[in-house]
Amino acid sequence: MVTTRFAPSPTGRLHVGNIRTALHNWMLARKNGGRFLLRIDDTDAERSREDYVDAIRADLAWLGLEPDGEERQSQRLALYEAAFENLRDAGRVYPAYETAQELELKRKIQLGRGLPPIYDRAALALTDEDRAAKDAEGIAPHWRFRLDHDEPIRWEDGVRGPQKFDPAQLSDPVIRRADGSWLYMLPSAVDDIDMGVTHVLRGEDHVSNTAVQIQMFTALHAAQETAAEPHPDFAHEALLVGREGKLSKRLGSLGCDAFRERDIEPEALVALLARLGTSMPVEPIAEREKLVESFDLSTFGRAPAKFDDAELERVNTAIVHQLPFEHVAGRLPDGMGEDGWLAVRPNLETVAQAGEYWAIVTGPIAPAELEAEDRAYVGEAAQALEWGEDPWQALTTRLKDSTGRKGKALFLPLRLALTGRASGPDMGAILPLIGEDAARERLAAAAG
Binding site as annotated, residues for ATP? 249
Question: 10 near 48, Cβ under 8 Å?
Answer: yes
400 burial (CB, 10 Å; 0-12 / 13-18 / 19+) is: middle
For the residues of 328-388, what is the DSSP string, one character each?
A: HGGGSPTT--HHHHHHHGGG-SSGGGHHHHHHHHH---PPP---HHHHHHHHHHHHH---S
Nearest to 41 by CA among 67, 65, 12: 12
Q: Residue 270 class from Cβ within 10 Å (0-12 exposed, 13-18 middle, 19+ buried)? A: buried
Rounded Cα–Cα distance for residues 439 and 31 (Å): 53
CA distances, 134 to each of 98, 105, 126, 161, 260 (Å) = 10, 20, 10, 45, 54
Q: At what angle do helices 16-31 and 266-275 cross, to 10 degrees?
A: 80
Q: Is residue 154 within a helix (H) or strand (E), and if so which, with residue range?
A: strand 153-157
Contacts of 276 (CB under 8 A, 6+ apart): 20, 240, 282, 305, 306, 307
CA distances from 354 to 294, 328, 336 (A): 32, 10, 9
Per the annotation, where are the binding residues? 249
Residue type, 300: F
CB 339 within 8 A of CB 416: no
Tell me the C-alpha distance between 395 and 407, whole Å. 14
Nearest to 145 by CA among 190, 209, 95: 95
Q: Which residue pairs from 325-334 have beta carbons closer than 8 angstroms and sit at least 24 positions apart in sequence?
A: 328/354, 332/358, 333/358
Query: Rounded to whole angstroms, how far apart are CA atoms 416 and 359?
Result: 14
Distances (CA, A) of 68 to 35, 281, 292: 6, 29, 17
